[in-house]
Amino acid sequence: MRKFICLFIAILSFETSFGQVHVSSDSVAASKLNPIVVTGSGHHQRLKKTASPVRVLPALEIREQGTITLQDALMRMLPQVQTTPSSMGNFLRLNGLGNKYALILVNGRRVVGDMAGNVDLEKIDLSRVRRVEVLDGAASSLYGSDAIGGVINIITDQPASDKVSARSFTSVSGKGRFNQSVNINAGAGGFTSSTSFTHSRADSYSNSRYEETKKGDEIELTETIAPLFSGFRACNLGERLSYKPTESLALNAGFDYYQKITSRPRTREDVKGGTDYEMRYRGAKLALGGIYKINRNYSVQMNLDADRYRYGREYQVDGKSYEKGDYTRSKSQSAYSGNIQGIMHFMPGSTSIAGVDFRRDELVSSSGNIDNGANTFAAYVQHEMQIVKGVSFTAGARLTSHEDFGTNFSPKVALMFSPKNFNFRLTYSRGFRTPGLDELHYNYFSVNRGKAQVSIGSTDLDPETSDYFSANAEYHTDFLTVSATGFLNYVDDMIIKKNIKVDDAKRAELMDMFPEMTPEQAAKLEQYALYTNSDKGRVQGFNVSVSALVTEDIDFGVNYAWNYARTKSDDAWKALERSVRNTLTFSSNYHHRWGIYKLNACLSARLQSKTYYPGYENAPGYGVWNLNTSHTVKVSDRLTLEPSLGIDNIFDKVDKRPDSSLRKYALYNPGRMIVAGLRIFFN
Nearest of 535, 542, 537, 584 to residue 565 by alpha carbon = 537
Mean residue pLDDT of the chain comes to 85
- Length of the chain as a residue count: 683
The pLDDT tens digits for 423-479 are 999 999 998 888 888 888 877 777 766 677 888 888 899 999 999 999 999 999 989
Asked whether the predicted pLDDT for residue 4 surpasses 70, the reply is no
pLDDT score, position 497 = 82
Of the candidate ranges 42-56, 234-248, 355-369, 506-520, the one whose mean pLDDT is the lowest: 42-56
Grade residue 659 by pLDDT with cuts at 50, 70 and 90: confident
Domain 2-682 carries which CATH code?
A: 2.40.170.20
Q: What is the distance between the alpha carbons of residues 622 and 605, in angstroms, rounded to a whole number?
A: 10
Question: What pLDDT score does 39 carry?
Answer: 56
User: Given pLDDT bands bounded at 50, 70 and 90, which one contains residue 504?
Assistant: confident
Reply yes or no on whether the pLDDT at 575 is more than 60. yes
Of the candidates 622, 637, 629, 611, the residue with the CA atom closest to the CA atom of residue 671: 622
| pLDDT confidence bin for 17, thresholds 50/70/90 | very low
> Which pLDDT value is given to residue 556?
92
Domain ranges of the chain: 2-682
Biggest CA-to-CA distance, the chain: 78
Of 505, 362, 532, 526, nearest in space to 454 by CA: 526
Out of 95-109, 135-149, 191-205, 256-270, least confident range: 135-149
- What pLDDT, on the 0 to 100 scale, is given for residue 428? 94
- Whole-model pTM: value is 0.87
Give the span between the Cα atoms of 195 and 216, in whole angstroms: 60
Confidence check: pLDDT of 329 > 60: yes
- The residue type found at 613 is Y
**Count of H-run helices and E-run strands, the chain:** 8, 40
Which helix H or strand E contains 72, and what residues bound it?
helix 70-77
Collapsing DSSP to helix, strand or coil, 248 comes out as: coil
> Measured between alpha carbons, how far is 595 from 466 in angstroms, rounded to an integer?
55
Distances in Å between the alpha carbon of 224 and those of 227, 497, 603?
9, 28, 36
- Contact between 471 and 484 under an 8 Å Cβ cutoff? The reply is no
Pairing of strands 249-263, 231-243: antiparallel
Residue 41: predicted pLDDT: 54
pLDDT above 70: residue 5 = no
Distance CA 667, CA 670 (A): 9
Alpha-helical segments (H) within 176-266: none
Q: Give residue 175's identity as a one-letter amino acid code.
A: K
What pairing do the DSSP bridges indicate for beta strands 231-243 and 191-202?
antiparallel
Q: Report the 10 Å Cβ neighbour count for 334.
A: 16
Tell me the helix, strand and coil percentages in the chain, rounded to 5: 10, 60, 30
Concatenate the DSSP letters of all residues of 562-592 into one string. EEEEEEEETTEEEEPTTEESEEEEEEEEEEE
Positive or negative, the CA dihedral 467, 103, 298, 302 is negative
Predicted confidence (pLDDT) at residue 181 exceeds the cutoff of 90: yes
CA 284/CA 624 separation, integer angstroms: 36
Mean pLDDT of 223-243: 92
Q: Which of 297, 230, 227 is nearest to 262 (CA)?
A: 230
Predicted local confidence at residue 113, as pLDDT: 63
In angstroms, what is the C-alpha Rg of the chain? 25
Can you give the pLDDT at residue 40?
Answer: 53
Rounded CA separation 211/618 (Å): 17
* More confident call, 555 vs 9: 555
Contact call for residues 399 and 407 (beta carbons, < 8 A): yes
Mean pLDDT of 20-39: 47
Do the Cβ atoms of 487 and 469 come closer than 8 Å? yes
DSSP structure class, residue 229: B
| DSSP state for residue 28 in the 8-state scheme | H
At 42, is the pLDDT very low, low, confident or very high (cuts 50, 70, 90)?
low
Q: Does residue 303 carry a pLDDT above 50?
A: yes
Residue 564, Cβ density class (10 Å: 0-12 exposed, 13-18 middle, ≥19 buried): middle
Q: What is the pLDDT of residue 218?
A: 78
Q: What is the mean pLDDT of residues 602-612?
A: 96
Rounded to 5°, angle at Cα 635 from 631 and 636: 140
pLDDT for 542 equals 92
Q: Which of 134-143, 338-347, 590-599 has the least mean pLDDT?
A: 134-143
Q: Count of alpha carbons within 13 Å of 335, Cβ hemisphere only?
A: 21
Q: Is the pLDDT of residue 551 over 60?
A: yes
pLDDT at position 2 is: 42
Asked if 472 contacts 543 with a C-beta cutoff of 8 angstroms, the reply is no
pLDDT of 38 = 62
Task: Look at residue 244 and tell me whether its pLDDT is greater than 80.
Answer: yes
Lowest mean pLDDT among 189-193, 601-605, 647-651: 189-193
For 308, other C-beta atoms within 10 Å of its C-beta total: 16
Residue-level pLDDT at 309: 87
Give the model confidence (pLDDT) of 382-438 as tens digits: 999 988 888 999 999 999 999 989 899 999 999 999 998 999 999 999 988 888 888
- Percent of the chain clearing pLDDT 70 (strictly above): 90
